[in-house]
Amino acid sequence: MEGKKKPILLAALVAAAAAGFLVYELGGSKRPAQDVFVVLRGENVLEIASNLKAEGYVKSKGIFLFETAVSGNFKKLKAGTYDLKNQNDFGIIKKLSRGQTVPVAFTVIPGWSVNDIAKNLEARKIIPKKDFMDAVLREIPIAVREEFGFLDDAPAAAGFEGYLFPDTYYIAAHPLPEDIIRQMLENFSKKLTPEVQTKIEKQDKKIFDIMVMASLLEKEVRTKEDKKIVSGILWKRVDKGWPLQVDSTLLYFLTSDRPSTENKNIDSPYNTYRYNGLPKGPICNPGIESIEAAADPVASDYFFYLSARDGRTVFSKTYAEHLVNVAKYLNN
C-alpha cells in the first residue's frame, strides 16, 4: 500500500504546485498602464502571446498558450484593437476570440501629406503603409467621383492627396485602406460648406485648384490673416503668369529639409521655380483655414513674402524690398 501511495502523493504535489503556480501567474500579474493592445492581421497565437508577454498583459507566455488551448481558442484569436483594461488572462482570451475590438482614435494633422498619414497609420499598427499608399495614390475610381462631387474637376490621374481632411477619426477593426479614405472624404464633404463653395464659384476656380493653393498656404503660412494675404499674392502671380517660387513645393519631392539652388533646377511638375502656375497637385492635406483662405484671398499691393525664422510672415511690394527682407530675416 505504501508503494501505491507514493505516485498518488507525487501527482497531488505536482497538481498542487501547478495550481499554485497558475494562481501566482494569474493573480500576481501586474497589468500595464497602457490598455490598448493591437493584434495585426496574419499574426498567429504564438506571436500574439509573445506580444502580450512583452507588453505586460500576461506574465507567462506558456500559461497563456495553455489556457487558449484548453479553452478551445488556440486558432480563434482575431486581429484588431482591444481594450484590455482590468482583464485577466481568461478575459483577454475571451475578448480576442470573440473579436470584441474598439475603434482606434487616429488624428491627421493639418499639413500632413498622404505619406505622413501612411507612416503614422503603420506606426499605430492600423494598416501597412504600402497598402494605404497604393490605394491613395491610384487613379480615383469613377464610382468615387460620382459619389463625391467635389472630385469631379480633379485630373484623371489624380489621387486623394489634398482631400483627406485633417481631423480625429475613429477607425473600426480590420480596416481596408478604402474604408479610411472614405471616412476622410465624407468629412471633407461636410467641411466644404455651401458658403465656401459659393466663394469658389465667385472666383471662377476649380475645387481642385483651390485645394492645390490651400495646400501651399498650409505649408507656407501660420495665421489665417496672413494666409489670406499670401493667397492674394499667389493667385496674382498665377494670373500674371509668374512662377510662384514656393519652397514647400520643392520639399514635397525632395528628401532634404531645405531647398538649395541646385534643387530649384530639378525637372518636376511640383517645381514652382522652374514652371509657372500651380504645381501638379496638392502637396499636403490642408485644414479649413487654408481652404477658406484659398477661396477668399485678400487683395494687396504685395508681390513677395517670406517666412521669418520666428514664424512671422514678412511682406514686400517690390523685389528690391524683398531682397532686403531676405538679408534681414533669413541671411543672418
Question: Residue 48: which CATH number?
Answer: 3.30.1490.480
Q: What local confidence, expressed as pLDDT, does residue 20 receive?
A: 43
The domain boundary, picked from 190, 215, 234, lies at: 190
Q: Residues 264, 273: contact at Cβ < 8 Å?
A: yes
Looking at residue 331, its pLDDT comes to 84
Of the residues 135, 170, 190, the one at which a domain ends? 190
What pLDDT sits at residue 29? 46
State the pLDDT at residue 12: 45
* pLDDT tens series, the chain, 332 aa: 555 555 554 444 344 435 544 544 444 445 554 568 989 888 999 999 999 999 999 999 999 999 999 999 999 999 888 999 889 999 999 999 999 999 989 999 999 999 999 999 999 989 999 999 999 999 999 999 999 999 999 998 899 999 999 999 999 877 899 999 999 999 999 999 999 999 999 999 999 999 999 999 999 999 999 999 999 999 999 999 999 999 999 989 876 566 666 778 889 999 999 999 999 999 999 999 999 999 999 999 999 999 998 889 999 999 999 999 999 998 86
Helix crossing, 194-203 with 207-220: angle to 10°?
100
pLDDT at residue 36 in the model? 82
Closest CA to 310 of 329, 331, 332, 290: 329
Please tell me the predicted confidence (pLDDT) of residue 1.
Answer: 52
Q: Which long-range contacts (CB under 8 A, 24 or more apart) does 47-56 make?
A: 48/77, 48/96, 52/92, 56/30, 56/31, 56/32
| pLDDT score of 33 | 46
| 69 within some domain | yes
**Residue at 121 is within a domain:** yes
Same domain, 89 and 127: no
H/E run at residue 2: helix 2-27
Domain boundaries, position 45? 9-98
Q: Report how far residue 157's alpha carbon sits from residue 141's, in angstroms, rounded to the nearest whole number.
A: 10
203 and 247 together in one domain:
yes
Please tell me whether residues 134 and 70 are part of one structural domain.
no
Q: What is the pLDDT of residue 4?
A: 54
pLDDT of residue 27: 46
- pTM tops 0.75, yes or no: yes
Do 200 and 293 lie in one domain? The reply is yes
Q: Say if residue 206 is in the same domain as residue 295.
A: yes
